[in-house]
Every structure is written in C-alpha cells, then in structure tokens.
Amino acid sequence: MFEDFEATRIQVDGASVFARHGGQGPPVVLLHGHPRTSATWHRVAPLLVGRGFTVVCPDLRGYGRSVGPAPSADHSAHSKRAVAGDVVEVMRALGHDRFALVGHDRGGCAALRLALDHPDAVSRVALIDCLPVSEHLSRLTVAFATQWWHWFFFAQPDVPERVINADPDAWYHGDPVAMGRENHDEWRAATRNPDVVRAMLEDYRAGLTVDRRHEEEDRAAGNRVWCPALVLWSLRDDLEQLHGDPVEIWRQWAPDVRGHGIDAGHHVAEEAPEPLAAALADFFGGRPG
C-alpha cells in the first residue's frame, strides 16, 4: 500500500498523529471514518496523486496508529473540534497552510468542524456518507434508531468496551479481499487494541454531547461553510433512504454545494475508488484522468 508515500508521526496538542503523505501539487487531506484507519484510502490516494495532488492521509485522533490523549469526562478530548485542530497542525507541520479536505463518515463530521472553525485553511471540502450529527438527531425516527442503534450503544459508559474487547474479531467484520489484505491487516490490528476501541467509542460519545452542542451553536450564530462543498453518498448505503436528498440537507450548512450518489456500499473508498477519485479530482481541479 501507499507506494512512494512517506509515513510520519507528528506531535500535536495532546496527541501523536500518524499520517501518510505523498505526491506533488495542491494538497488534499483524506479523513477516514469508523472503524477504519488511513489505510482505507489506499486505492484512492494513488489515483489522486496521479491527478496532480499532494495527498495526506492521517489516522484520526485515537484511531489506528494515532495516540492519545486520555478520555475526558465531558468527551471534549475526542471532539471533532479537537480532531480538526490536529489536522490543521499536521498540515502546517508538512508545510501546508491551506488545503482541500475530504471526510468520510466520522471523518466527514471532523471535516465539517474544520471548515467551520478554520475557514482560512480550507479551499474546498468534500463530505461523503455523512450529515452533521445534529441533523441526524433532529430527524430521529424509529428506522434511524433501529438501523443506527450503535450510535446510542457506543454512548453508554463502560459497557461497550467490555462487549467489544471480549471478542473484537466477532464485533468488527471485514473482508480482506474487498478491503485489500494490507488494509485489512492494519485495520484488524487497530480493532484488537483496547486503547483504539476506547478512543473510537469516545468519538461517538463526543458526537452526542459536545459535538452536537457545537453544531447547534453554529446554527444559532449563522455560521456556515463558505467554501465550495461536494456531497457524495453511497447508493447501496442507507443515508438517502433514511433522510432524503443529502444535498438538500447540506444546503442549510453550505451555500455553495453540489453532489451525487456513487454506486457502492458504505466503504466507498475501498469499493469504488475510481469513480470516487474522479469525482474528487474534478471538484478539486486536478489534471484530466
């Protein structure tokens, strides 16, 4: 994986972030979702390099090989605001003050927070298979609570750690053929690490508390994502089925937004790397494919 990419560990406020980076050209950051690591982009990143970009793939705070900090009582240590700050510091350490940004799943929530908190740093943002946490919760239905029940289970204290760590291989399912063997092995090693499991759960606990509050404060203050935004979603996932057209929902957060679905399941970077990379490169202004 990631031939010709460098692997770097960067110390930021309260965390040590592992990141892969490679290529030449305008910088693009790829933020993964739960329960993946930066390796989920192993098929997309080289395609973006080929389209003329520098690509940076960090492990989110506490995920994969990124470490710390210890959880805090109010879950702010794993808030999207903290993760967004990590990404800005990582990019500055690599020499990039302004960059394009991609976030999938939980990484999409972090990308939203980064674009809101650091608008001067983000030139364009792509949001994949995600909505703001507050939008999900404001549309809460029996179907959502049934299909996305893990949000509420993960938010419970202590119990999820005991359940998952008792048999992480049974809890987290992955196909090494579909994922790619090296990606699968890296992901499996992460899910067997109790510290990573705890951090991933803290991500969800922050989502229902501090992250939701930050989003509601932004809405009340009239804050928006002012850079151009691209919204993509997996047609064989359930986001559109549960909530309707994601672009229409995102237009309440980003005035300049466009988007479309991609024929894939939820882990689109692994299942449909070519159409995903093409959509991102076209949006970010890369070289013709």
Average pLDDT of the residues in 2-7: 96
Give pLDDT, residue 14. Answer: 84
Find the DSSP H helices in 105-158. 106-117, 133-138, 142-147, 150-154
Percent of the chain whose pLDDT exceeds 70: 100
Give pLDDT, residue 287. Answer: 85
- What are the residues facing 71 on neighbouring strands? none
Average pLDDT of the residues in 127-140: 96
Model confidence pLDDT, tens digit, residues 78-118: 999 999 999 999 999 999 999 999 999 999 999 999 999 99
Average pLDDT of the residues in 18-46: 98
Catalytic residue positions, numbered: 105, 266
Just give the CATH number of 6-284: 3.40.50.1820
**159 pLDDT exceeds 90?**
yes
Domain boundaries, the chain: 6-284
> 123 phi and psi, to 5 degrees?
-85, -45
Residues in CB range of 206: below 8 A, 6 or more apart:
75, 76, 78, 79, 80
pTM value is 0.97
**246 pLDDT exceeds 90?**
yes
